[in-house]
């Protein structure tokens, strides 16, 4: 059995697992550790090493390790092999690829933005198997994305192509506001939706509490969810106008904050959007659930070797 070691580094957790050539996570090989914006560089590096070593220790004797794929929150610098996750400030300019190469000196190691890994996974074995071009998104602690165009992953000059969380969205901030406060992640991610709700008088603290409050009829909690979905929809309108994709696939914990979240996103994308090609892409939930980021990281190895 030929396997890839997959690593997914995000704002709240880091995971590693072994993934086979069909995109399945090998049972018993998946390990997780907490990350978080307040974690020190030492603690984060230790967590990354811990999950990698645990996953490697689960490698079946009869299998062959083809290499390691890394999906990480960005921005990234693929030439340098570094990442500077916005939600993990202690890891600014951290040489993540070199860390993995040190554990696997004889193996191929490939790295990509986590949003691109989501798109790769969906295009390989998920909701986007039958399309040529797609935008993959995650709406969670942060907002990320990646693009497959005409069957090929779009990386860009530094590896950050498709980072939809960092595009500005009009109409949600005071006139003249630009930069970080107007970016999609600042408007739509789980923590930022909670922060907006708290600024409007809501007293909860987590996305889970926000979901529960909205389900119970809390006006402010519901408004925060609708605001997030509207911002995601408008960003998708801009992205699809630019890239003319066939499909948009959305995953991430906050995308499930309300049963109608994707309906709200679709309505916002179509609001005052006149060109038919901008509206033609279906907006669907991930076909892979929580396995998507790891499967996408593994695709950096399995798919590159099969192409």
Residues 156 and 86 in one domain: no
Q: What is the number of domains present in the chain?
A: 2
Residues 186 and 280 in one domain: yes
Q: What pLDDT, in 10s, does the model give residues 58-73?
A: 999 989 999 999 999 8
Q: What is the pTM of this model?
A: 0.91
Torsion angle defined by CA atoms of residues 274, 183, 48 and 66, in that order, rounded to the nearest 10 degrees: 30
Q: What local confidence, expressed as pLDDT, does residue 273 receive?
A: 76
Residues 228 and 258 in one domain: yes
Residues 238 and 152 in one domain: yes
Among candidates 117, 125, 122, which has minimal Cα distance to 133?
Answer: 122
Range of the domain at 212: 127-286
80-100 mean pLDDT? 95
Residues 72 and 179 in one domain: no
Q: What local confidence, expressed as pLDDT, does residue 307 receive?
A: 47
Q: What pLDDT, in 10s, does the model give residues 91-132?
A: 999 999 999 999 999 899 999 999 999 999 999 999 999 899
Q: What string of H, E and C letters represents the secondary structure of 242-280?
A: HHCCCEEEEECHHHHCCCCHHHHHHHHHHCCCCCHHHHC
Residues 108 and 170 in one domain: no
**What gap in Å lies between CA 89 and CA 95, rounded to an integer?**
14
Q: Is residue 35 part of a domain?
A: yes
What CATH number is associated with residue 91?
3.30.420.40
Q: Is residue 298 part of a domain?
A: no
Residues 174 and 264 in one domain: yes
Q: How many CA atoms lie within 13 A of 18 on its CB side?
A: 20
Residues 228 and 108 in one domain: no
Residues 22 and 57 in one domain: yes
**What gap in Å lies between CA 128 and CA 264, rounded to an integer?**
21
Binned at pLDDT 50, 70 and 90, residue 217 comes out as very high
Handedness of CA 118, 124, 129, 131 (dihedral sign): positive
Residue 75, preceding peptide bond in cis (omega within 30° of 0): yes
């Amino acid at each position: 059995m030929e396997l890839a070691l997959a690593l997914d580094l995000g704002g709240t957790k880091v995971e590693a697992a072994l993934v086979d050539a069909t995109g399945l996570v090998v049972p018993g090989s998946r390990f997780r550790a907490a990350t978080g914006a307040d974690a020190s560089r030492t603690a984060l590096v230790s967590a990354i090493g811990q999950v990698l070593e645990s996953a490697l220790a689960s490698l079946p004797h009869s299998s062959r390790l083809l290499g390691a794929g890394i999906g990480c929150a960005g921005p990234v610098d693929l030439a340098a092999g570094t990442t500077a996750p916005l939600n993990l400030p202690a890891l600014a300019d951290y040489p993540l690829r070199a860390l993995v190469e040190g554990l696997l000196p004889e193996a191929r190691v490939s790295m990509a933005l986590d949003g691109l890994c989501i798109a790769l996974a969906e295009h390989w074995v998920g909701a986007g198997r039958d399309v040529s071009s797609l935008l993959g998104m995650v709406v969670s602690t942060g907002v990320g994305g990646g693009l497959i165009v005409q069957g090929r992953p779009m990386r860009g000059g530094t590896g950050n192509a498709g980072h939809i969380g960092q595009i500005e969205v009009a109409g949600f901030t005071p006139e003249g506001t630009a930069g970080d406060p107007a970016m999609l992640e600042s408007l739509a991610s789980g923590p930022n939706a909670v922060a907006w709700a708290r600024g409007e008088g809501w007293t909860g603290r987590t996305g889970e509490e926000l979901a529960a409050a909205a389900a119970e009829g809390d006006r402010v909690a519901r408004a925060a969810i609708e605001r997030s979905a509207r911002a995601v929809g408008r960003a998708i309108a801009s992205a699809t106008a630019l890239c003319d994709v066939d499909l948009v696939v959305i995953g991430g914990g906050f995308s499930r904050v309300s049963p109608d979240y994707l309906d709200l996103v679709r309505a916002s994308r179509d609001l005052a959007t006149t060109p038919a090609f901008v509206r033609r892409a279906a907006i669907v939930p991930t076909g892979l659930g929580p396995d998507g980021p790891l499967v996408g990281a593994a695709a950096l190895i399995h798919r590159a070797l099969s192409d």
